[in-house]
Chain A
């Protein structure tokens, strides 16, 4: 079972934060096919968000073929988001963390790291299309 961290100040709508966190949990292998999502009641009791917000998120996940409601039992994971197999993300996250450490040691602050990442992503995209 996972719990959601929902930030009311975020520019990302609350329902989308739930969708993203479920997808992320599936990619990281925290959730897998057959697992149960918390009920709407459990989510709102823990986070004080509107029940319709949670329903909207679960419906979107259902449309994407990731979860399925089973009457009287709850909502269950039935698929994984397309992409690399689970574990890939955590492996890459580890090597990225190492890279961030060396960037910090070299004197880069978060803002410079973020802009370096953006520039690199853009350059890579241009290389692919070239």
Chain B
């Protein structure tokens, strides 16, 4: 049910956040349409957590505009009722049980579906009466997600939710998330420094590097806009004039280019290939990691 006309749930324009002399986020302009599961990807320190905190109203921008669900984020109940935020450090009380958490949630939230949490935990075989501190990391993450979904948020913001989980727990967590999204009316933005964690589940991508947005859009559209060119070592000025060069690998014999296409490529010396999501992300990250001149890079993905 994806359409380019879907209304924006997240919209930022020239958003910036500075902490004293450090720029945590610079000139960030993104749009996440309704119903997307969007991957917020970037190396550690790229500004992912800062962006999520700004969107959740937990920090105030030092420049630019944000609209989340049509309003500026602010720490008041009316705004927060529509947002589910799961921080990197999962906010659970270790000595309390899952059942205790469900009861607390019912007191703190106007809308609250405790039954769904109980059913979900029973389905996963997670004990309701046991202290949360005795559960496994995967079980705690599942509990936190179920609690976050119980308030029926329209936007879910997740900061590195699967980073600490083993592969099976990761898969189960993402399946739980995908199932919640299948119900409709939910938009998700989840961060990770590993694309492979999120590749299957995401249909939208926001790529941050060095506090700036490198890419933002629907995955299918981004892949269609880019292309890999493989050819002999030769002057590529003409290609660079007609298209946007993202990343280049030059060996004495061969040139491999990742370009953002501006119409068809008609140089017969180059073979064209579709770009994979991983190549795309690594190309943009590598471009940033090695400075402003992509032509000097030694390998796709640089030092990733």
Contacts and interface: CB of A to CB of B under 8 A. Distances in A.
Interface of A: 6, 8, 11, 14, 40-41, 44-56
A16 to B, nearest CB: 12
Contacts of A48: 171, 174-175, 177-178, 200-201
B290 interface: no
Interface string B129-150: 0000000000000000000000
Contacts, number: 54
B291 interface: no
Given A41-B182, A51-B182, A52-B203, A46 B37 contact: no
A48 to B, nearest CB: 4
A8 B277 CA distance: 11
Nearest to B171: A48
A6 B274 CA distance: 20
Max chain A C-beta neighbours (<10 A), residue from B200, B202, B203, B276: B200
A54 B200 CA distance: 11
Contact of B178 (A50, A55, A56): A50
Contacts of A51: 178, 181-182
A54 B181 CA distance: 12
Contacts of A54: 182
A11 B276 CA distance: 8
Max chain B C-beta neighbours (<10 A), residue from A6, A45, A51: A51
Contact of B202 (A6, A40, A50, A55): A50
Contacts of B178: 44-45, 47-51
A54 B175 CA distance: 13
Contacts of B181: 44, 50-51
Interface of A is mostly: helix
Contacts of B179: 41, 44-45
B199 interface: yes
Interface in B188-235: 196, 199-203
A46 B175 contact: yes
Nearest to B172: A48
B146 to A, nearest CB: 14
18 contacts: A11-B274, A11-B276, A40-B182, A41-B179, A41-B183, A44-B178, A45-B176, A45-B182, A47-B175, A48-B171, A48-B175, A48-B177, A48-B201, A49-B201, A51-B182, A52-B35, A54-B182, A56-B2
B266 interface: no
B221 to A, nearest CB: 13
Given A41-B179, A44-B178, A50-B202, 19 more contacts: A8-B200, A41-B182, A41-B183, A44-B175, A44-B179, A44-B182, A45-B178, A45-B182, A47-B200, A48-B177, A48-B178, A49-B178, A49-B200, A50-B178, A52-B1, A52-B2, A52-B35, A53-B203, A56-B2
A111 B256 CA distance: 27
Contacts of B182: 40-41, 44-45, 51, 54
A8 B178 CA distance: 15
A52 B203 CA distance: 8
B6 to A, nearest CB: 11
A40 B2 CA distance: 14
Nearest to B199: A8
Contacts of B183: 41
A89 to B, nearest CB: 28
A78 to B, nearest CB: 21
Interface string B1-43: 1100000000000000000000000000000000101000000
Given A40-B182, A50-B37, A52-B2, A6 B200 contact: yes
Nearest to A41: B182
B148 to A, nearest CB: 17
Nearest to A56: B2
Contacts of A53: 203
A45 to B, nearest CB: 4
Contacts of A47: 175, 178, 200
